Structure 1
Amino acid sequence: MPVGRLTNVDLMRVIVFTFVISAHVVTYTLDQEELPVAAWGLTVHFARYAFVFVSALVLCHGYQDRNLSACRFWRRRLAAVVPPYVLWTLIYYGIDTAQYGWPGLVPWLQLLLLHLVWGTEWYHLYFLLVAIQLYLVLPALRWMTDQWPAAHGLMIGIAAVIQLGYMTLINLVPAPAGPWVIIWEHAEKSLPLYALFAVGGAVAARHLDQLETGLLRHWRLLVPIGVLSLLGTLVAFNLRAAGTATWSAAAASFPSVLPWAVAATLICLLASTAWTRHHATPRGINHIVRAGARRAFGVFLIHPLLLWIIVITPSPLDQLPGTLSRVLIIFILTITGSLAVVELLLHTSLSKPLLGRSRTTRPSQTELQPG
């Protein structure tokens, strides 16, 4: 299969990031202890898994039939994600310092170091740590899928066992005392939680034509399976919410979420593939999708800041507390405001350090940024 731009996967990436932002807007502006709010956050947080799948797929596809030097790959990918991670951690930490006061130089530096190590500054930067881990193992994943094509099904099965086992461990086994507690405290930042999607994306890159054709052919089966898996996830959530805090019951790492995350990821790929095959034109949809995919990483980094500014700034929105219309307006303002800031930064020398993108308006044919 020739290596080129995957417009359907670019579209899927835009869809996934939109779901991420919707989750943050809803849970940030409404009460997370309300069942509908927590349920929405749980439902759309399949996106974290879908993005690992997309990242592994596109990177392995981009290096298909090409020599992949691990050191060269790491230099390129880490250079695109580590500086934005550090700088945005500093930006958000500076905002927190301005809000909550200066604790003194030594405590300030100690807490900054902890934020950098664990991705705990605000609620989204942890995912860049997941992306870094994925980049570190991706040359090995690509090598394995190349060397053992007959074992692709076995690889996916092993990855599913690892992820399900990890989900079960961190949610159903009490955290121990001692140093091992770190696994439970930082579970969502660990690659084993995304093992199935990392391996699945790498394998999918080797069988992309067959996968897309199969999804289009069997969509009447996939969609009901997705609906049933979502219902199962929500039933499990409601049962858990009866015995614990609602926000805790909505943890996206709970084992019952896995079937829905898999189904939703495949449905997003199905929808993106169907749309691009029937509607894409070189100067129309393709251009819009590529532009959106190019800006998605920056929007991911910036949107919590825009969301925070919109919520704390006095405006007529204050007259619509807790309503669907208010949430929708904030959602639109957050996306458009983030896009405007990203567009501005793309035309400055800050583009590379803050967005991981070179100062250009033309999208690269092979680049992929995490989110």
Structure 2
Amino acid sequence: MNVPVSKAKEHLYEIDLMRALIILGVICVHVISFFNLFTVQMTGVNLRNDAALTALHFTREAFMFITGLVLFITYYGKPFNVKMFLGKRLKLIAIPYFAFTLLYMLFTQTYMPTPHLTLPLFLQNYGIALLTGNQFFLYYLLISLQLYIIFPWLLKFIKATERYHGLLFGISFALEIALMWFNKFYLQMPAGLHLPGLLGVLVNYRDRIIITYQFWFIAGALVAVHYSKIKAILQKYVRFIPWILLFSFFAIGVHVAIDRLVQHQDESQTVLVLQPLMIPYSLLATVTLWSLGMAWSRVRLDSRFRQISRLIKTAAAASFGIFLIHPFFLHLVQVTIYRLHTTAAERVWLTPVAILFVYFSAMIVARLVARIPYLSYIVGQKSTWHSQKKLPMQRGTVRENTAS
């Protein structure tokens, strides 16, 4: 999603395309997951959906990568004021976090009310929700808050290890593989689910703790520091990426077939985000998106792509808002599908329709909210009446976007 790039840096149009496509991928995962509830286990449609979900699950890691990438592009090698950084960044992530936690809880009460709910109990539940990020998909904002808090130390660490960045990348990658192996083959088992005390709490909420995703933030940071060099290398070998990605899709299909048909694993285990396979695959998928973004940055001004360019720019700017707002439209899709009593054949073509509906509806609402002074903070964008008076020709201009 969005992180402001320093004015001293050239705008990275390749990142715009990545943001737009990644948030589309997130919505695909959520919509396909819903439609997959209607399929019969182990049928062709069910296995196809499992493969699609696994292939699309790179989006979570890609979000983390972009967050680290743009933060370091913005702040690395420049004067850094910790108080100013925390004041600005935490405001643009904490306000949406507090606001949408409350909005989601109130929204849930409208269709699934809690019996005998009192204000003290609601406030208690609200506090728990803020601590755990348990409302819809707000885990990502909770992770972002953790990143911002440790970022000053991470910035110093990356600077202090400049001579060893290759080694750092390798160690971080190996650690991530080990963490994902431990998660899939131990923590998913009964013994791993019933650990005592604080360790049990950390395990239960491991998908929203920053250490779980340490590789993606470090990888983003290292790419930012060596951006030009890595970009040149990627462009040199870009012709091989589609073939490697094609092989990866084949590997995903084999993985699903083995897990479901041979090892008879539960569906949730097969499509698990936090498993070893997803680390090299997500890295390759993210690099592929980056290469597509670079290709896009070279042709975006072509008159033939004018409308597409506007759409990508809008989607990139609204990506954080889309992420926050799309659960409301996803719920509308779910209610509609249940009420229509759709057939299996109808759900096949309704799936892409639902994806586009959720994506563009959330985008429109996110952009409208971003144009409202002060209220724009809830979608992580800064604007005020004062700034609009100074810039009458840019009413509702986004002054700053949150890291996501």
Q: TM-score, normalised by structure 2?
A: 0.83
Give the equivalent residue in structure 1 for 2:397.
Answer: 362
Q: 1:295 Cα deviation (Å)?
A: 0.6
- State the alpha-carbon separation in 1 of the partners of residues 184 and 96 from structure 2: 31
State whether residues 35 and 246 of structure 1, in contact with CA within 8 Å, keep that contact through their aligned partners in structure 2: no
In structure 2, which of residues 139, 143, 146 is the aligned counterpart of residue 130 of structure 1? 143
Contact 1:168 1:255 in 2 (8 A): yes
Give the conservation status (yes or no) of the 8 Å contact 2:380–2:401. Answer: no
- Indicate if the aligned counterparts of 1:216 and 1:274 stay in contact, CA closer than 8 A: no
Q: Which amino acid aligns with 1:172?
A: F
* 1:311 equivalenced with 2:346 (yes/no): no
Aligned counterparts of 2:298 and 2:316: Cα–Cα separation in 1: 18
Query: For structure 1, which segment, 61-70 or 87-96, has the greater mean C-alpha deviation from structure 2 after superposition?
Result: 61-70
The residue that corresponds to 2:272 in the other structure is 251
Moved more, 282-291 or 132-141: 282-291
Residue deviations 1:12-64 (CA, integer Å, cap 9, x gap): 11111111111111112332752222221221110111111111111111123
Any conservation in 2 of the 1:10–1:289 contact (CA below 8 Å)?
A: yes
Q: Tell whether 2:242 aligns with 1:213.
A: no
Aligned-pair identity in percent equals 22
Tell me whether 1:275 sits opposite 2:289 in the alignment: no
Match in the other structure for 1:86: 98
C-alpha contact 1:8 1:273 (8 A) present in aligned 2: yes
Does 2:346 match 1:325? no
Matched with 2:22 is: 16
- Whether 2:372 is the aligned partner of 1:336: answer no
8 Å Cα contact 1:229/1:259 also seen in 2: no
TM-score norm. by structure 1 comes to 0.90
**Cα displacement (A) at 1:203:** 0.7
Contact 2:47 2:256 in 1 (8 A): no
Residues 309 and 82 of structure 1: is their aligned pair in 2 closer, same or farther, counting only changes over 3 Å?
A: same
Deviation string 1:291-338 (CA, Å, 9 cap, x unpaired) is: 322111001100111111133147996556553310111111111211
CA deviations on 1:263-312 (whole Å, 9 max, x unpaired) are 00101101111121233469946654333221110011001111111331
- The whole-number CA distance in structure 2 between the counterparts of 1:10 and 1:70 is 27
Matches within 5 A, 1:17-32: 17-31=23-37
Q: Does the CA contact (< 8 Å) of 2:93 and 2:402 recur in 1? A: no
- Aligned pairs, how many? 368
Cα 1:317/1:168, change in 2 over 3 Å:
same
Q: For residue 108 of structure 1, what is the aligned residue in structure 2?
A: 122
User: Cα gap change, 1:211/1:149 in structure 2, threshold over 3 Å: closer, same or farther?
Assistant: same
Rg comparison, structure with higher value: 2
> Which residue in the other structure is 1:72 paired with?
84
Q: Residue 263 in 1 paired to residue 269 in 2?
A: no
DSSP-derived class of the 1:323 partner: helix
Q: Which residue of the partner structure matches residue 300 of structure 1?
A: 323
What's the counterpart of residue 52 of structure 2? 40
Identify if the C-alpha distance between structure 1 residues 320 and 302 changes in structure 2 by more than 3 Å, giving closer, same or farther. farther
SS at match of 1:361: coil
Supply the AA of the counterpart residue of 1:213. A
Say which is worse superposed, 315-324 or 72-81, in terms of deviation.
315-324
- Partners in 1 of 2:176 and 2:210 — Cα distance? 9
- Does the CA contact (< 8 Å) of 1:13 and 1:293 recur in 2? yes
2:376 aligned with 1:352: yes
8 Å CA contact 1:7, 1:286 repeated in 2: no
Q: 1:272 to 1:313 in 2, by over 3 A?
A: same
The answer as to whether partners of 1:141 and 1:202 remain within 8 angstroms in 2 is no
Structure 2 CA distance for partners of 1:13 and 1:263, relative to 1, 3 Å? same
| Residues 372, 396 of structure 2: 8 Å contact kept | no
Alignment-derived partner of residue 165 in structure 1: 178
Q: How does 1:166-185 map to 2 (within 5 A)?
A: 166-173=179-186, 174-175=191-192, 176-179=194-197, 180-185=199-204
1:121 maps onto 2:155 in alignment? no
Change (3 A) 1:228 1:139: farther
What displacement does 1:119 show? 1.0
Asked whether the 8 Å contact 1:29–1:327 carries over to 2, the reply is yes
Q: Which residue of 2 aligns with 1:154?
A: 167
**AA in 1 matched with 2:207:** E
In structure 2, the CA distance between the partners of 1:101 and 1:40, relative to structure 1 (3 Å rule), is same
CA contact (8 A) 2:93 2:141 kept: yes
Question: Partner of 1:47: helix, strand, or coil?
Answer: helix
Give the conservation status (yes or no) of the 8 Å contact 1:129–1:189.
yes
> Secondary structure in 2 aligned to 1:3?
coil
By how many angstroms is 1:120 displaced?
1.0
Letter in 2 for 1:60: F
Deviations 1:49-98 (A, max 9, x none): 11111111111111233212222212111100111111111111112222
Counterpart Cα distance in 1 of 2:154 and 2:326: 32
Which consecutive unaligned segments of at least 5 residues does structure 2 have? 1-5, 384-394
Task: Indicate yes or no: 2:63 matched with 1:51.
Answer: yes
